[in-house]
C-alpha cells in the first residue's frame, strides 16, 4: 500500500514539472501528429471555414504592409550628359517672340482683308537745284498676301524761287524738270507691324506697319504731247503720223530733241531740262491704320540713278517726302 502510494506521487510530480515546458514549446509539428489524427486534403481544406484574424477588415483584405524605403530606392549610376544640342538650343522667350512675330496678325486692323485702298497723296521734292516742286494726286493700292502693290497719278507743279530768279540773271543754269504729270508703280513688303495703344484715351487703337518700298516713275510732259500741232483741225486727230510721233516719244526713257524744244519754251528761267522720262526710287513706308479702315501713310523715298546711262538724267540722287491720307475699303 505504501509502495503504490509512493508511485502515484512520483507520477504526479513529473506531470506537474513537464506541463510548463510543453506550453512554451507550442503544439507539435505536423510530422509529430498523433497516429489517430485524420489528414485533410486540399479540397477539404479550401471548403473548411476560415476564422478571420483580428487585423482583417470586413472585406477580408488588410492594410498594405509597410515597405522600407531602403528596399525600394536603387542607387543611381553615372549619367552621361549629351551637350551636342547646346549649340542649336534657343531660349524659350526668344522662341516665343519669333513665333508671335511670324504667326500672329495685328488685332487693331488687318489691311490684308480690305478689297482696295484709296488715298490722296501730297509730297515735296528735294532736288539739288533752287526750284520748288510740289506734288498732289491720287493713290490706289491693293494687298496680295504680304505684298502691297500700288499705283499713283500726281500732278507736279514747279515754281521758281527767289534764288532761281537771281540765277536766271546769270549765264549759269541748273538741271531741273518743269511742270509735268507723273505715274508711279510701287511694291512694298512689311518688315514690322503690330497693334499699338495710343497715349490719349480718346484715340482708337491703331495698327502700325513699317515696310520697305521700291518702285518706278514715269514722267509725262503735256507740252511735248501737244507740240506745235493745231489740234483745232480735224485732220490732226485723224492722221496716223500724229499718233505715231506721240507714241514714239512716249515710249522712250529719254526725251527726244523735238520734245525737248517744245518743253524748253515753257521752262522757268535758269533751268536746264533733265531729259530723263523714267526714274527708280527706294525707301520706306510708315502706315497707321485705325478702325474701321482710315489710314495715314508717311513715306521718304530716294531716287537712285540706276538707269542714268540710258535715261541721261543729270539730277543724280534726290529725295522725296510724301504724306497720304485715305481709306481701306
pLDDT tens for 28-85 read 555 544 444 444 454 444 544 555 555 545 555 556 555 555 545 555 556 666 677 7
Q: Which residue has the higher pLDDT, 57 or 194?
A: 194
Query: Most confidently modeled of 127-131, 210-214, 260-264?
Result: 210-214
Q: Which residue has the cell 529719254?
A: 254
Per-residue pLDDT, averaged over 180-197, amounts to 93
91-100 long-range contacts, Cβ below 8 Å, gap at least 24? none
- Residue 34: per-residue pLDDT: 46
pLDDT of residue 248 exceeding 90:
no
- Residue 95: per-residue pLDDT: 66
Task: Kindly report which listed range (111-115, 123-127, 223-227, 310-314) carries the lowest average pLDDT score.
Answer: 223-227
**Burial of 132 by CB count in 10 Å (0-12 exposed, 13-18 middle, 19+ buried)?**
middle
- Residue 33: per-residue pLDDT: 46
The band of 247, judged by pLDDT with boundaries at 50, 70 and 90, is confident
- Residue 202: per-residue pLDDT: 82
Identify whether the C-beta of residue 271 lies closer than 8 Å to the C-beta of residue 265: no
Q: Break the chain into its structural domains and give their ranges.
A: 101-186+214-280+300-323
Q: Which residue has the higher pLDDT, 181 or 31?
A: 181
pLDDT of residue 110 exceeding 60:
yes
Alpha-carbon gap, residue 58 to 52, rounded angstroms? 9
Per-residue pLDDT, averaged over 257-262, amounts to 87
The pTM score is: 0.66
pLDDT of residue 323 exceeding 60:
yes
Over residues 134-175, the pLDDT tens digits come to 999 999 999 988 899 999 999 999 999 999 999 999 999 999
The answer to whether the peptide bond before residue 33 is cis (omega within 30 degrees of 0) is: no
The band of 219, judged by pLDDT with boundaries at 50, 70 and 90, is very high
Quick one: what percent of the chain has pLDDT higher than 70? 70
* Helices and strands counted in the chain (H then E): 10, 10
- Residue 313: per-residue pLDDT: 92
Per-residue pLDDT, averaged over 184-205, amounts to 88
pLDDT of residue 4 exceeding 70:
no
What mean pLDDT is reported for the chain? 79
Per-residue pLDDT, averaged over 235-245, amounts to 82
φ, ψ of residue 69 in degrees (nearest 5): -55, -25
DSSP string, 20-54: HHHHHH-SPPGGG--TTPPP--HHHHHHSPPPPPT
Task: Kindly report which listed range (128-142, 185-199, 228-242, 298-312) carries the lowest average pLDDT score.
Answer: 228-242
- Residue 282: per-residue pLDDT: 97
- Residue 165: per-residue pLDDT: 92
pLDDT of residue 5 exceeding 70:
no
The DSSP letter of residue 84 is: G
Per-residue pLDDT, averaged over 243-265, amounts to 87
Amino acid at each position: 500500500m505504501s509502495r503504490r502510494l509512493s508511485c502515484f506521487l512520483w507520477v504526479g510530480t513529473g506531470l506537474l514539472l513537464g506541463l510548463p515546458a510543453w506550453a512554451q514549446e507550442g503544439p507539435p509539428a505536423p510530422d509529430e501528429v498523433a497516429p489517430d489524427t485524420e489528414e485533410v486534403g486540399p479540397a477539404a481544406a479550401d471548403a473548411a471555414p476560415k476564422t478571420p484574424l483580428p487585423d482583417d477588415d470586413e472585406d477580408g483584405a488588410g492594410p498594405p504592409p509597410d515597405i522600407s524605403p531602403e528596399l525600394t530606392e536603387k542607387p543611381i549610376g553615372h549619367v552621361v550628359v549629351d551637350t551636342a544640342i547646346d549649340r542649336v538650343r534657343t531660349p524659350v522667350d526668344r522662341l516665343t517672340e519669333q513665333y508671335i512675330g511670324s504667326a500672329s496678325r495685328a488685332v487693331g486692323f488687318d489691311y490684308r482683308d480690305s478689297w482696295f485702298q484709296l488715298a490722296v497723296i501730297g509730297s515735296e521734292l528735294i532736288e539739288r537745284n533752287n526750284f520748288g516742286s510740289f506734288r498732289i494726286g491720287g493713290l490706289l493700292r491693293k494687298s496680295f498676301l504680304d505684298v502691297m502693290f500700288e499705283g499713283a497719278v500726281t500732278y507736279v507743279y514747279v515754281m521758281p524761287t527767289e534764288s532761281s530768279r537771281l540765277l536766271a540773271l546769270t549765264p549759269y543754269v541748273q538741271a531741273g524738270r518743269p511742270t509735268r504729270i507723273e505715274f508711279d508703280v510701287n511694291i512694298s513688303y512689311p518688315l514690322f507691324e503690330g497693334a499699338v495703344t495710343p497715349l490719349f484715351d480718346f484715340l482708337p487703337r491703331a495698327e502700325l506697319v513699317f515696310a520697305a518700298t521700291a518702285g518706278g516713275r514715269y514722267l509725262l510732259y503735256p507740252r511735248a504731247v501737244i507740240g506745235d500741232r493745231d489740234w483745232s483741225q480735224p485732220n490732226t486727230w485723224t492722221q496716223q503720223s500724229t499718233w505715231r510721233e506721240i507714241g514714239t516719244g512716249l515710249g522712250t526713257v529719254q526725251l527726244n530733241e523735238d520734245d525737248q524744244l517744245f518743253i524748253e519754251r515753257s521752262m522757268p528761267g535758269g533751268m536746264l531740262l533733265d531729259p530723263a522720262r523714267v526714274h527708280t526710287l527706294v525707301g520706306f513706308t510708315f502706315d497707321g491704320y485705325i478702325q474701321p479702315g482710315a489710314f495715314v501713310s508717311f513715306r521718304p523715298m530716294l531716287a537712285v540713278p540706276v538707269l542714268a546711262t540710258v535715261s541721261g538724267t543729270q539730277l543724280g540722287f534726290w529725295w522725296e517726302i510724301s504724306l497720304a491720307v485715305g481709306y481701306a475699303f
